[in-house]
Amino acid sequence: MKLRVEVDHNTYSALKEVEEEYREVLEEAINYGLVNKTTSFTRIKAGIYKAEREKHKLPSHYVYTACEDASERLDSFQKLKKRGRAYTDKPSVRRVTVHLDDHLWRFNLDKISISTKRGRVFISPTFPKIFWRYYNKGWSIASGARFRLTKGNVVEFFFLRRTLNLTSLKCLSQLISTRAQSLYWLMENRSF
């Protein structure tokens, strides 16, 4: 689910600094992965973590999540290239969505706290009806989130996930198997 929150100028500028440095770390991680021909998160992190921590004064988990993001982007690019659907020789970073793990953000229903270079920033969201509909139907707040900055001091958050319990999965698998069996029986007994 996407949540848009309008923030003040100071908060927006602090998040903008984080986004710009996150982009730099992400581009370095992608370049490292291309040069060393790896899409492995652990190899990318082992190769650039120390240098990027010294270069950028961000909280350490931003470098960690940028390496995860680079690994996902490189893996996706390799699959597209293998299918012949890649338009360039190397992946480009056009849009940046900053990944936040559980160390970088805290969520309460009255405020969201995000770590930045300047310390923590606090955002007071106003939730739309659709959020409460999902939240009351059993969707939970994910341990990790993402945010993207848009025009007009607006921050977009992505942070809900659906939790499925084991009994609903078992019922779903039984329903699928009975439907598949009935389709198989129809195909065998139908004369074409």
Q: What is the pLDDT of residue 138?
A: 83
Q: Helix (H, G, I), strand (E, B), or coil: what is residue 86?
A: coil
Q: Helix (H, G, I), strand (E, B), or coil: what is residue 35?
A: helix
User: Whose CA is closest to 40, among 91, 88, 4, 74?
Assistant: 74
Instruction: Tell me the C-alpha distance between 140 and 163, whole Å.
Output: 7
pLDDT band of residue 185 (cuts 50, 70, 90) is low
Average pLDDT over residues 150-161: 87
Lowest mean pLDDT among 60-69, 105-114, 132-141: 132-141
Q: What is the pLDDT of residue 70?
A: 96
Domain boundaries, the chain: 1-163
Q: What is the pLDDT of residue 142?
A: 86
Instruction: Tell me the C-alpha distance between 120 and 107, whole Å.
Output: 13
Lowest mean pLDDT among 11-15, 84-88, 137-141, 167-171: 167-171
Burial of 13 (0-12, 13-18, 19+ CB in 10 A): middle
Q: What is the pLDDT of residue 178?
A: 61
Instruction: Tell me the pLDDT tens digit for each residue of 33-60.
Output: 999 999 999 999 999 999 999 999 899 9
A 10 A CB-CB count for 103 gives 15
Q: What is the pLDDT of residue 86?
A: 86
pLDDT band of residue 192 (cuts 50, 70, 90) is very low
Q: How many residues does the chain have?
A: 192
> pTM here?
0.81
One-letter-per-residue 3-state SS of 55-77: HCCCCHHHHHHHHHHHHHHHHHH
Q: Give one word for 110, left, alpha or beta, with left for phi > 0 and alpha for psi -120 to 50.
A: alpha
Instruction: Tell me the C-alpha distance between 46 and 69, whole Å.
Output: 15
Name which residue leads in pLDDT, 77 or 184: 77
Q: Which residue has the tokens 């440095």?
A: 21
Q: What is the pLDDT of residue 65?
A: 95
Q: What is the pLDDT of residue 71?
A: 95
Q: Helix (H, G, I), strand (E, B), or coil: what is residue 104?
A: coil
pLDDT band of residue 90 (cuts 50, 70, 90) is confident
Query: Would you say 144 and 101 are in contact if contact means Cβ atoms under 8 Å apart?
Result: yes
Lowest mean pLDDT among 31-35, 65-69, 81-85: 81-85
Lowest mean pLDDT among 13-17, 26-30, 58-62, 152-156: 152-156
